[in-house]
Amino acid sequence: MRAVRGADFSLAAGEVHALVGENGAGKSTLMHIAAGLVPPDAGTVHVDGREVRLHSPRAARDLGIGMVHQHFTSVAGLTVAENLALAAGRLDGWTAGGVGTRLMEGLPPHALASGLSVAQRQRLEILKALATGARVLLLDEPTALLTPVEVEALHDLIREFVKSGGAVALITHKLREVLGTSDRVTVLRRGIVTLRGMTAEQTEQSLAQAMIGVEGVASSEEGSGEQRAPFAALGVTVEIGVIELRPGDLVGIAAVEGNGHRELLRAIARLEQFPGVRVTGTVALVPEDRTAEGLIGELSLAENLVLGLGADPRWARRARLDWNAARRRTAELIEAFEIVAPGPDAPAGTLSGGNQQKLLLARALETRPSVLVMENPTRGLDVRTTEEMHRRLRATATSGVTVIIHSTDLDEVLALANRVLVVHRRGVREAPRGADRQAVGEMMLGVQPVNGEP
């Protein structure tokens, strides 16, 4: 898999360079290359005009590049001072200077890292990068978990750090943050740079356009609502607040990661709670993580079928299970869904991703659901299997099932769905029929103020 293709990124002393993009656009991969965590397949990294080989995080550190990850990397059982000494590689401790002194304010050196608040931990992470002698900071979504006041404080610190000659690469998908703090901006989309320029010349709209892309306007020749009519009278299967979903709807859910769409899908599948969600009838879920949540690799195909349909009267006889019946049905499904497998007794873990996904869909439909929920239905599948999966999802909706999918790929949502719901900050809104990817993208980012929401 290639996450980044021919994308280049430069950073000068004294500037904040924002790197923006949807999830999976390749932002983190690019930064990981700069931090020496991932070796590039092609291309070079230059520091101070010289080509360098960053084969390890240590090599990057020695050149003054420090990465601050989204997740915390401090040792929970050590104090702030001990964590800093550890990062600096000096047992006698490390004293902050410059920006560091301000970062140390409100960070008691003898407090245990495990007892710090989220904002304090964030500061500790940055201090640790400074303790390694970093002149270049790569910040991976540093404000994702902070409150507005803490975000303000962090932005001040970033400005101060670059004023003293440092350089900061800021990964984010908050457009206001980009406009408010950065000097330059680069937008990535599917590993390709779609916009590069001075921040002062950009607007939220121009950034959103570059993030979502403008070339592929909603292509919904097949996905539009013509065939829905016969089911309209059948009633509502899913309610989300005022939004009513009916049999035959093929619903696409669009959202930027972390806005609650996952919780929404799982609430529809009756695994979690989400405000305003009401479901009638049976729900089948095809989880995104096929091998951790969908299938058990060591179990056979037939056993995995029974895993999802434990109470099916075809094989469940009170406490007993009729494995021959399950095996026969599995063989039929292998045939019907064109699953490439040696047979019903083959371990599910030996199947390729596409065939695992077909098995999961077959099992989900075998429950005769009124609602089918699918997370990233074609992740990791080749073109042919992707098309087949789309065809089957459309056919399922046409047969009177409410099909609800989420895809990280907005194009897939738009191509497949005849109704699009957007989740932003745990609020669900329906995109107007025929909305193009730009309009949906702006809804995803919350650009257009709705109900006073920024």
Partner 1 sequence: MSGPAARALLTGTIALLTGFAVLAMGLAAAGYDPVLALGALWRGAFGSWYALTSATLVRSIPLIILGLGLALGFRAGVFNIGAEGQFYAGAIAATWVGLQVTGWPAFAAVGAVWLAALVAGTLWIVVPVLLKARFGVLEVISTLLLNFVAEATVSYAVTGPLMEAKRIYPQSDPIAATARLPVLPGSRLHLGILVALVLATLFWWLFTRTAWGFRLRAVGLGPRAAEVSGRISSGRVVAVALLCSGALAGLGGGVEITGVTYTLFQNLSPGYGFTAIAVALLARNHPVGVIFTGLLFGALEAGAQGMQREAGVPAVAVQVTEAVIILVIVLAEVLVRRAGTLRASEPAADER
360 vs 435, beta carbon nearer partner 1: 360
Contacts of 451 (CB under 8 A, 6+ apart): none
Cα 164 from chain centroid (whole Å): 35
Nearest-approach distance from CB 183 to partner 1, in angstroms: 40
Q: Of 29, 385, 396, 407, which lies in the binding site for partner 1, with binding defined by CB under 8 A?
A: 385
DSSP 431: P
Cα 20 from chain centroid (whole Å): 14
Per rule CB under 8 A, is residue 296 in the interface with partner 1? yes
Per rule CB under 8 A, is residue 340 in the interface with partner 1? yes
Q: What is 316-364 written as a DSSP string? A: EETTEE-HHHHHHHHHHHHHHTT---S-TTSBGGGS-HHHHHHHHHHHH
Q: What are the two backbone dihedrals, phi and then psi, of residue 284, each rounded to the nearest 5 degrees?
A: -115, 140
Per rule CB under 8 A, is residue 76 in the interface with partner 1? no
Per rule CB under 8 A, is residue 378 in the interface with partner 1? no
Nearest-approach distance from CB 320 to partner 1, in angstroms: 6
Nearest-approach distance from CB 282 to partner 1, in angstroms: 12
Q: Of 86, 236, 307, 331, which lies in the binding site for partner 1, with binding defined by CB under 8 A?
A: 307
Per rule CB under 8 A, is residue 88 in the interface with partner 1? no
Q: Of 140, 303, 388, 442, which lies in the binding site for partner 1, with binding defined by CB under 8 A?
A: 303
Nearest-approach distance from CB 319 to partner 1, in angstroms: 5
What is the SS3 string spanning 27-66? HHHHHHHHCCCCCCCCCCEEECCEEECCCCHHHHHHCCEE
Q: Of 287, 344, 377, 446, which lies in the binding site for partner 1, with binding defined by CB under 8 A?
A: 287
Q: How many residues bind partner 1 (CB under 8 A)?
A: 33
Q: Of 352, 386, 398, 438, which lies in the binding site for partner 1, with binding defined by CB under 8 A?
A: 352
Q: Of 24, 349, 400, 427, which lies in the binding site for partner 1, with binding defined by CB under 8 A?
A: 349
Cα 101 from chain centroid (whole Å): 35
Cα 372 from chain centroid (whole Å): 21
Q: Bridge-partner residues for 239, per DSSP?
A: 244, 278
d(CA 116, CA 122): 9
Kind and range of the H or E element at 283?
A: strand 283-286
Identify which range of 22-30, 273-281, 295-303, 416-424 contacts partner 1 by CB under 8 A.
295-303
d(CA 264, CA 242): 15
Per rule CB under 8 A, is residue 316 in the interface with partner 1? yes
Q: Which residue has the tokens 């919904």?
A: 220
Per rule CB under 8 A, is residue 377 in the interface with partner 1? no
Identify which range of 178-186, 313-321, 330-338, 418-426 contacts partner 1 by CB under 8 A.
313-321
Nearest-approach distance from CB 134 to partner 1, in angstroms: 38
Q: Which residue has the tokens 């964030």?
A: 122
Q: Of 142, 247, 248, 294, which lies in the binding site for partner 1, with binding defined by CB under 8 A?
A: 294
User: Which of 210, 261, 302, 269 lies closest to 408, judged by CA?
Assistant: 261
Q: Of 102, 135, 323, 331, which lies in the binding site for partner 1, with binding defined by CB under 8 A?
A: 323
Per rule CB under 8 A, is residue 220 in the interface with partner 1? no
194 three-state secondary structure: strand
Q: Of 319, 449, 451, 452, which lies in the binding site for partner 1, with binding defined by CB under 8 A?
A: 319
Instruction: Give residues in contact with partner 1 (CB under 8 A).
Output: 271, 285, 287, 292-299, 303, 306-308, 310, 316, 319-321, 323, 340, 347, 349-355, 363, 382, 385
